[in-house]
Amino acid sequence: MFIRALSLRDFRSWEHAELELSPGRTVFLGSNGNGKTNLLEAIGYLATLGSHRVAADAPLIRMGADKARIGASVVNTGRELRIDVELNQGTANRAQINRSPARRTREILGILQTVLFAPEDLALVRGDPGERRRFMDELCTARLPRLAAVRSDYDRVLRQRSALLKSAGRQARSKADLGTLDVWDGHLATHASVLLTYRLRLVHDLYPYLAQSYAAIAPESRPATIGYRSASLPPEFLDPAREPAPDDTEALEAIMLRELAAARPKELERGVCLVGPHRDELDLNLGAAPAKGFASHGESWSFALALRLGAFELLRATGSEPVLLLDDVFAELDRRRRTALAAVAAGAEQVLITAAVPEDVPAELAAAPLRVETSGGPDGRTSRIAEPVPPPS
């Protein structure tokens, strides 16, 4: 797939931007702070309904504005769809598909698929488990957009059940409280089992692509492996080589119910929900050691890169080809890793690259760059796209 047109209004530093894009490579060139990453962040938002840089939407709305708009025309196997999202300060966000209002913003998920490489990716390896859960869940949702509804149902039930655990834990427990808790256990297990099914499938499917990507980037290093980590699942479910079975969801639901019942006394005592996919994570290993805490800086970068490359290869092998977004990544990489990434990028249907200086873009990916500039505007810092600059001779 590729993005044919992108329009922004009051998104980050962009008061207004209209861009015509084509398949192949586009390089956004501009000095620091000129709004290059903001462009990729906006595109990433259309694909995931979230930013790779911030957890909340408020910073995405241009300072002084009360709403931001992002729109794109996406061409997938010859068919063009227009998607638009409006981010509102204080009220719910809204979305449109082909200019008609969508009932929920998440209905646009799946229309645009992206894989974004960014300097923030080091947190995939070095950061909290939440980073790796987000990686898994965003990738699961890219493969199966209806999982967004499951994730949102799970989060809602988790919040309500946690509130009940807190209050039931504090007061003398009534029979009614415990009965209500049983009902919430049922809801939690239902949504958890679906989410777990797809996370386990993802780890199983991603595993070979990840191992291969890592070996290509860092052939001298120990082999990279991944595994699903969960204190509540039996070990056989956690083996990435295990073939997913058609009745996994029912089996996982039964396991969740059993684990919730066993954890009940401890949960009431502590007032938190101790069982479920919100406690799980993705293990990243180099040889026999966990990457987190053991991997060198270079190995951590290679692992993060291999996770993204693996995700890209997996999506393109099993669905439609995602748009590749490369945010300032080449400057961080040594020659071998630049070459490995450039080789994948060179074969992608559409690649959007940001760089501060043209020398940061490998020769294989050189394209006539679009210069991003800041100018004018009430804050004196509104970004704009200037004329394409001629390719370096």
Ligand X SMILES: Nc1ncnc2c1ncn2[C@@H]1O[C@H](COP(=O)(O)OP(=O)(O)OP(=O)(O)O)[C@@H](O)[C@H]1O
Residue 12 or 337 having the CB closest to ligand X: 12
Task: State yes or no: residue 13 binds ligand X (CB under 6 A).
Answer: yes
Among 13, 37, 213, 350, binds Mg ion (CB under 5 A): 37
Q: How far is the CB of 381 from ligand X (least distance, A)?
A: 6
350 binds, among Mg ion, ligand X, none (CB under 5 to 8 A by kind): none
3-state DSSP assignment of residue 243: coil
Spell out the residues 6+ positions from residue 335 whose beta carbon is closer than 8 angstroms to its own.
none
Task: State yes or no: residue 30 binds ligand X (CB under 6 A).
Answer: yes
Task: State yes or no: residue 63 binds ligand X (CB under 6 A).
Answer: yes
Task: Please list the helix, strand and coil fractions of the chain in percent, rounded to the nearest 5, in that order.
Answer: 50, 25, 30
Residue 59 or 101 having the CB closest to ligand X: 59
Q: How far is the CB of 5 from ligand X (least distance, A)?
A: 20
Among 1, 17, 36, 196, binds ligand X (CB under 6 A): 36
From first CA to last CA, the distance across the chain in angstroms is 30
Q: How many Å apart are CA 380 and CA 374, to the nearest integer? A: 8
Number of residues that bind Mg ion (CB under 5 A): 2
Q: How many Å apart are CA 276 and CA 196, to the nearest integer? A: 9
113 exposed, middle or buried (CB, 10 Å; 0-12, 13-18, 19+)? buried
Residue 206 or 385 having the CB closest to Mg ion: 385
Binding mask 302-341 for ligand X (x = CB under 6 A): --------------------------x-------------
Q: How many Å apart are CA 248 and CA 242, to the nearest integer? A: 11
314 exposed, middle or buried (CB, 10 Å; 0-12, 13-18, 19+)? buried
Of 283, 261, 105, the residue nearest 188 (C-alpha): 261
Residue 15 or 253 having the CB closest to ligand X: 15
Per CB under 5 A, residues contacting Mg ion are 37, 328
Per CB under 6 A, residues contacting ligand X are 12-13, 30, 32-38, 59, 61-63, 328, 354, 356
